[in-house]
Structure 1
Amino acid sequence: MRTVIVGGSKFGVATAEQLIDKGHEVVLIDKNRQKLEDLSQRLDCGMIHGDGSSPKILREAFASEEDVLIALTNASDGNILTALTARSVGFGRVIPQIIEAELLEVCVELDLKDTITPHVTVARSLCRALEEETELARDTNLTSDLRLLRVTVMAKQEGCALSDLDLPDDCRPVALLKDDHEKFADADVTLSEGEEILFAVRSEKVRELKALFAAT
């Protein structure tokens, strides 16, 4: 699987560095040739000079349907266009960064379910830390071996209880989420298609957990 990042911003570069450190294949696309030349001294990844919303450029970066595209420029509308183009090219997952909150509704209408909303996320964390008098560094982020993962209940799990699921070891359901409503994930709760389950799971079990909730 290849991860293609459009936008050599600080956020884009930091994301590339994290992925490269974890052994992922990364391709970075940016319009600024000089920026790419400078970044080539510190990033061990593929680089393509050009417009990340261009079908020609995206086809050059594309390798397989398992590829992921992350649009991290500072222009939300451009990121949306890039995500839509990448989806038409064949990328299996597209993730645009959305800075203007009002464009989130547009993403929903365009069926862009995966979005990054850094300003909203940071603001929410800040408000929560102030209200709960907790340190920002000790908010809900998990930074070592555990991950928080949201999965969607499929039709095949409709009517099942959480306790009926053949969950991998080192995986704990935390909460159920649907239509902005949240509740604790009790073992006897009945699942309904379309709702989401928040899990705490060890990194090496993430793929196994995702497979359990795959569409097939």
Structure 2
Amino acid sequence: MKYIILGLGNFGSVLAERFTQMGYEVVGVDKNIEKVEDIKSKISLAVCLNVIDRNSLRILPVHNADGVIIALGREFDESLMAYAIFREFGVKKIIVRAVSDLHATVLTSLGVENVIFPEKDAAQKYVMTLELERYVSSYKLDEETYIVQMQVPRRFMGIRLSKINFKAEHNVKLIGLKRKIDVPNLFGMTHKELRVIDTAKGEVDLLEGDIIVVMGELTNLAKFGK
């Protein structure tokens, strides 16, 4: 896959390097020559361009790219102008970084379908690590709702799933359960591997080391996870 990343600040540069590690072809663009020099040996191509100049941006391989990510920092107006230019170029997949709630609202009102808010998302995840002492990972569904993987809270260990009223008592929904089980390899030996186990009938006793997957609002998930 090939992505063009506009803006090589903290977020854009990390994203560019991570994509490169995943095997993607990355073209990084920034108006600051120092940022371009810092990353040019780590990604496919890094160029110094005026990020809101239509003629400058025309040299980019937009029609061969899978998408454009506008990762500009606090330059509110620049991200809007860059989005308009790439729309004019006919780029179908444009992802724009928002730096504030107002910025996100303006982008959405302009028809931007893919708006990301990395600082806000990172802060939310940090809150989860503080609130949920057994937190593993999470996926944001909307502003209020998350799917969270956590180690089974200690107060539920040894309790049968069917005895826990997830919805009525805790306002969360059970999605699944993972457990380390013995898995054989090609040589007939076994090793522990985390697998999803069948919870349809609820006849499963929760054990130390189990990972429970639940969905709900952040406040309810925090209460459930304590």
Query: What is the TM-score normalised by the length of structure 2?
Result: 0.55
In 2 relative to 1, CA 39–125 (structure 1 residues): closer, same or farther, beyond 3 Å? closer
Contact 2:49/2:57 (<8 A) preserved: no
Name which of structure 1's ranges 59-68 and 5-14 shifts more when overlaid on structure 2.
59-68
In 2 relative to 1, CA 59–125 (structure 1 residues): closer, same or farther, beyond 3 Å? same
In 2 relative to 1, CA 66–43 (structure 1 residues): closer, same or farther, beyond 3 Å? closer
Q: Deviations for 1:49-92, whole angstroms, at most 9, x for unmatched residues?
A: 11222222322113416531111121233223212211211222
Aligned counterparts of 1:131 and 1:99: Cα–Cα separation in 2: 25
Instruction: Give secondary structure in 1 for the equivalent of 2:42.
Output: coil
What is the alpha-carbon root mean square deviation over aligned residues? 2.8
- Could you tell me which residue of structure 2 aligns to residue 10 of structure 1? 10
Instruction: Give secondary structure in 1 for the equivalent of 2:102.
Output: helix
Contact 1:66/1:92 (<8 A) preserved: no
Name which of structure 1's ranges 48-57 and 122-131 shifts more when overlaid on structure 2.
122-131
TM-fit CA distance, 1:120: 1.8
Aligned counterparts of 2:42 and 2:138: Cα–Cα separation in 1: 29
Q: Deviations for 1:121-180, whole angstroms, at most 9, x for unmatched residues?
A: 123223334444434xx2216xxxxxx999xxxxxxxxxxxxxxxxxxxxxxxxxxxxxx
Counterpart AA for 2:98: I
Instruction: Give secondary structure in 2 for the equivalent of 1:125.
Output: helix
- Could you tell me which residue of structure 2 aligns to residue 139 of structure 1? 137
Counterpart AA for 2:8: G
- Could you tell me which residue of structure 2 aligns to residue 120 of structure 1? 120
Aligned counterparts of 2:121 and 2:104: Cα–Cα separation in 1: 13
Instruction: Give secondary structure in 1 for the equivalent of 2:58.
Output: helix
In 2 relative to 1, CA 122–34 (structure 1 residues): closer, same or farther, beyond 3 Å? closer
Aligned counterparts of 1:34 and 1:133: Cα–Cα separation in 2: 41
Aligned counterparts of 2:120 and 2:10: Cα–Cα separation in 1: 18
Counterpart AA for 1:140: S
- Could you tell me which residue of structure 2 aligns to residue 26 of structure 1? 26
- Could you tell me which residue of structure 1 aligns to residue 91 of structure 2? 91
- Could you tell me which residue of structure 2 aligns to residue 79 of structure 1? 79
Counterpart AA for 1:139: S
Q: Deviations for 1:89-126, whole angstroms, at most 9, x for unmatched residues?
A: 12221111111111222112111010110222123223
Aligned counterparts of 1:120 and 1:34: Cα–Cα separation in 2: 27
Aligned counterparts of 2:62 and 2:68: Cα–Cα separation in 1: 11
Identity percentage of aligned residues? 24
Q: How does 1:1-216 map to 2 (within 5 A)?
A: 1-40=1-40, 42-64=41-63, 66-75=65-74, 76-135=76-135, 138-140=136-138
Aligned counterparts of 1:38 and 1:131: Cα–Cα separation in 2: 37
In 2 relative to 1, CA 123–34 (structure 1 residues): closer, same or farther, beyond 3 Å? closer
Instruction: Give secondary structure in 2 for the equivalent of 1:64.
Output: helix
Aligned counterparts of 2:42 and 2:17: Cα–Cα separation in 1: 7
Structure (1 or 2) with the greater strand fraction: 2
Q: Deviations for 1:14-53, whole angstroms, at most 9, x for unmatched residues?
A: 111111122211111111123322322x313112211222
Aligned counterparts of 1:54 and 1:114: Cα–Cα separation in 2: 22
Aligned counterparts of 1:77 and 1:128: Cα–Cα separation in 2: 32
